[in-house]
Structure 1
Amino acid sequence: MRALSIPALTERLSVALQRAAETTSDYELLPGMRGADTSPLRPAGVLAAFRPAAVPGGAELILTMRSSALRHHPGQIALPGGKVDAEDADEVAAALREAHEEIALPPDCVRVLGRLPTHETVTRFRVTPVLAVITREFNPRPEPGEVAEIFAVPLEHVAAVDRYRIEDRNWLGGRRGYRVLPFGPYYIWGATARMLHALAQRLD
């Protein structure tokens, strides 16, 4: 297997930005369970950053396992990122800042390609996935208070729509449906799997 060049990886991912797509939501598979909470959605940004690698598809996506001590989505697999803070210009700035804090990814290593459609979570966030390419090597280091582990998933796995499936579990007195993307020992599910599924649908 050969790693894609930066220009080839950029071209492959840019396809996703050129195709129309709608916003997504945790509630897509939760009919009648939106509830009475009408508080404003809090803006957040996450970084879907790929880097060239000698793996299927020629590139890989950086993901994290969140700390079990976190308030929101403890122990879940996630894209680096978080809520937009007062000092952030926008969701892109928040995603880059959080990726630097969470996995020690310097912003000057990242080429931002654009934004994917937003995703609404049951925890009242409006998440903007920021699609990007990592242009040079860096030394990933997990931030102990937020990240339990850093790992990578091949582009071919992320882009294979047929590898995503729907599962369900009991939640708030009913059955909650959600998407999953299993990868080895990692159980990628919920909002992260849904955002990656939306990306996979737009890739060649």
Structure 2
Amino acid sequence: MTRPVFEPESLPVVATGSHLPPVTGDILTPDGLRARFEQTLEWTPEPIIEAPWRDTHADPRVAAVLVPLVVREHGLAVLLTQRADHLNDHAGQVSFPGGRHEPFDDDATATALREAQEEVGLAPSRVEILGALPDYLTGTGFCVTPVIGLVHPPFALKMDALEVAEVFEVPLAFLMDPANHEERLFRYEGGERRFFAMPYPREETATGTDEQPASSTGTHHFIWGATAAMLRNLYRFLAA
């Protein structure tokens, strides 16, 4: 099936998570997260709502992303990237640093750390791994393991301009408040696609690296699709 083309920001919001409680502040701390990941919790991942526009008989491509939670004085922040517009997969979208598993990677954590270093120059030595969320199967045929890690300053970033157009941070508290979780709907001939979105207002100046500010256009960072769905799963895990 040919993948339908659509503009996600223009699609209607059909629901939000405003009826759900936000994650409490005591959990959204380094110690709170460490304790959470040490527990065995019963929780249900969000149902995958992406339409399977790939060949359902083909094996998914194994990949991993790092969900980098930066330890700031004012609270934890999620480090995200805006992918370059010319890429074949998920061009121009907001993503976590990550990519395909390579044969020399020992595991998903090794893949996530390697890709984060290659894409944004984040040194693995600055990352404290907490654990991982269940794999997420994207509509484009990737089976992605989200690896959660605390990023301890000081650290310097250096973007790979071939893959990354911008690096920015969003407060974890904003993303763990389900009132900020939108569910949007795209109808097309033969079906429909529902997906999560978490638009975040841009600051006056977005952060490109520790030394160089990134460009800032538009009014929001539009976090949607697989990235938003994995953040929604993080919410479900922390709220369990």
TM tier, smaller:
0.7 to 0.9
Task: Give the whole-Å Cα distance in 1 for the aligned partners of 2:157 and 2:54.
Answer: 39
Aligned pair partner of 2:30 in 5, 10, 25: 10
Aligned pair partner of 1:128 in 145, 148, 152: 145
Task: Give the whole-Å Cα distance in 1 for the aligned partners of 2:237 and 2:62.
Answer: 23
Shift in alpha-carbon separation, 1:91–1:22, aligned structure 2, 3 A: farther
Question: One-letter code of the match for 1:191?
Answer: A
Question: How much has 1:54 moved relative to structure 2?
Answer: 3.8
Question: How much has 1:120 moved relative to structure 2?
Answer: 0.4
Contact 2:131 2:149 in 1 (8 A): yes
Shift in alpha-carbon separation, 1:54–1:150, aligned structure 2, 3 A: same
Deviations along 1:139-189, one digit per CA (max 9) or x if unpaired, are: 122111100000000011111122101002245643211000110110000
Shift in alpha-carbon separation, 1:107–1:171, aligned structure 2, 3 A: farther
Contact 2:87 2:163 in 1 (8 A): yes
> Secondary structure, in 3 states, of the residue corresponding to 1:202?
helix
Indicate the percent of aligned positions where both proteins have the same amino acid: 33
Question: How much has 1:23 moved relative to structure 2?
Answer: 5.0
Question: One-letter code of the match for 2:225?
Answer: G
After TM superposition, the structure 1 = structure 2 runs for residues 14-93 of structure 1, keeping only pairs within 5 Å, are: 14-17=34-37, 18=39, 19-22=41-44, 26=48, 28=49, 30=51, 37-55=56-74, 58-93=75-110
Deviations along 1:114-143, one digit per CA (max 9) or x if unpaired, are: 111110001111100001001231112211
Structure 2: unaligned runs, 5 residues or longer: 1-24, 202-219
* Displaced runs of 4 or more, over 4 A: 22-26, 33-36, 170-173
> Secondary structure, in 3 states, of the residue corresponding to 1:145?
coil
Task: Give the whole-Å Cα distance in 2 for the aligned partners of 1:35 and 1:106.
Answer: 34
Shift in alpha-carbon separation, 1:171–1:140, aligned structure 2, 3 A: farther
User: For the pair shown, which has the larger CA radius of gyration, 1 or 2?
Assistant: 2
Shift in alpha-carbon separation, 1:167–1:145, aligned structure 2, 3 A: same
How many positions carry a matched residue from both structures?
Answer: 193
Question: How much has 1:200 moved relative to structure 2?
Answer: 1.2
Indicate the larger mover: 38-47 or 14-23.
Answer: 14-23
Question: One-letter code of the match for 2:158?
Answer: R
Shift in alpha-carbon separation, 1:86–1:129, aligned structure 2, 3 A: same
Contact 2:81 2:168 in 1 (8 A): yes
TM score, norm. by length of structure 2: 0.74
Task: Give the whole-Å Cα distance in 2 for the aligned partners of 1:25 and 1:145.
Answer: 33
Indicate the larger mover: 61-70 or 134-143.
Answer: 134-143
Structure 1: unaligned runs, 5 residues or longer: none
Contact 1:63 1:77 in 2 (8 A): yes
TM score, norm. by length of structure 1: 0.86
Question: How much has 1:34 moved relative to structure 2?
Answer: 6.1
Contact 1:180 1:187 in 2 (8 A): yes
Question: One-letter code of the match for 2:77?
Answer: E
After TM superposition, the structure 1 = structure 2 runs for residues 136-151 of structure 1, keeping only pairs within 5 Å, are: 136-151=153-168
Match of 2:207 in 1: none
Task: Give the whole-Å Cα distance in 2 for the aligned partners of 1:172 and 1:81.
Answer: 33
Indicate the larger mover: 35-44 or 148-157.
Answer: 35-44
Contact 1:42 1:83 in 2 (8 A): yes
Contact 2:50 2:139 in 1 (8 A): no
